Amino acid sequence: MQMDERKKKILRALIQDYIASAEPIGSRTIARKFDLGVSPATIRNEMSDLEELGLIEQPHTSAGRIPSDAGYRYYVDFLMEPPALRDDDKMLIERETTHRIHEIQEVITQTSKLLSQLTSLTSVVLGPQKGKGTFSRMHFLPYQPGQAIMVVVKENGAVENHIIEIGQDVAAEELQKIADVLNRKMHGYTLNEVKRTLLHEIYSELTRQRSLLDSALELLEPILNDQDQEQEHVYLGGALNMLNQPEFRDLEKVKTLFKAFEEDGRLKKLLSMDREGLTVTIGGENKLDEFKDCSVISATFRVGGEIVGAVGILGPTRMDYAKAMAIVDYTTRMLNRLLRTSKRTPL
């Protein structure tokens, strides 16, 4: 789509003012607020051309214009200033994610809260699959007399903690030996694969710890093979923020939206898991009818080179795209860095 510079300036001004005010914009408003060097009459003529191009539209109850989905798309692709994040927002993201890296699910939960806090919109975060990850490593932490905490880390970054009965006379050295053997033999396998190929070898090395090993393997069974954990988990943050948006004052529209929020399967469809980098989906570009009045900014994150989740911001099409894109981009880069580091560093 070819447009001259004047039309571009008017479209940019209209969209920026509408994002800020949520009110339809007229030619006189643009002339007053933006120094474009042309009269309201000229702006009005240019706005008529923009409307014919399908980039802006006129609500039935107003003489002003608002951006269409196509107008937002043109703005994001060609007119918007490059996204930039404020230093204090960067510091907040780093602080709130870094000190929680010892538990991947807690990192994802906090990320969801943080995104909605920074944007005043709704966040959708798709966390790593819990059941499909193969075994990475484990270790035991002393808990109470006769008990220890078994910490299991899987290849996709997920962490499971369980209290295990060890008996009063089991020394820390014995627990460490079990962990060492399991870490050496099981790394990269599921428990079913271990049972088929390596279980005899493990028992041979741990004859004296047989009963304790049985308890550990019993706890590993649901962690690595529970079919209920085969799906990614969706974390929703700031859902009530949608009620603060003028676009969602209609009760029926809100009820439809919140019903969709209750279904993980529908929320997953909002996030692009097959693309690298930022993805911006605007209004009618969304696959689901419930979200035709919304835009989604999303990006994936990885563990060990494999895409394991996605971060997204959901809001009305009238959102601050530059800010939302900068926040999602920086957050996913932080997650990628932290999760990559956690794979190398014992938890």
Give tens-digit pLDDT for 272-300: 777 788 999 999 999 899 999 999 999 99
* Same domain, residue pair 199 and 63: no
Domain boundary (179, 201, 229) is at: 229
With contact defined as beta carbons under 8 Å apart, do 83 and 323 qualify?
yes
Ranges of H-type helices in the chain: 5-21, 27-33, 40-52, 69-74, 87-98, 104-119, 172-186, 191-197, 199-205, 210-225, 251-261, 264-268, 321-344
- Kindly give, in sequence order, each residue whose CB lies less than 8 Å from that of residue 88, ignoring residues fewer than 6 positions away: none
- Give dist(CA 312, CA 292) in Å, integer: 16
- 258 and 122 part of one domain: yes
26 and 166 part of one domain: no
**332 shares a domain with 295:** yes
Last residue of a domain, one of 14, 49, 79: 79
Do both 238 and 221 map to the same domain?
Answer: no
Residues 306-324 have pLDDT tens digits of: 777 899 999 999 999 999 9
CATH number for position 151: 3.30.390
d(CA 146, CA 168): 4
- pLDDT number for residue 118: 96
**Comparing 59-73, 225-239, 259-273, which segment has the lowest mean pLDDT?**
225-239
Q: Is the pLDDT of residue 140 over 80?
A: yes
Task: Give residue 339's domain range.
Answer: 87-128+232-344
Select from 295, 307, 315, 314 the least CA-distant residue to 332: 307
Find the CATH number of the domain harbouring 278.
3.30.450.40
Same-domain pairing of 316 and 249: yes
Q: What is the pLDDT of residue 128?
A: 66
225 with 143, same domain: the answer is: yes
- Band (pLDDT 50/70/90 cuts) for residue 134 is confident
266 and 246 in contact (C-beta within 8 Å)? no
Residues 246 and 123 in one domain: yes
Say yes or no: 114 and 236 in one domain. Answer: yes
Per-residue pLDDT at 139: 82
Domain count, the chain: 3
Residue 178 and residue 149 share a domain: yes
The pTM is what?
0.74
61 and 190: one domain? no
* Last-in-domain residue among 41, 58, 79: 79
Residues 106 and 250 in one domain: yes
Least confidently predicted of 14-18, 45-49, 143-147, 192-196: 192-196
61-112 pLDDT tens trace:
778 999 999 999 999 999 999 889 999 999 999 888 776 555 666 778 889 9
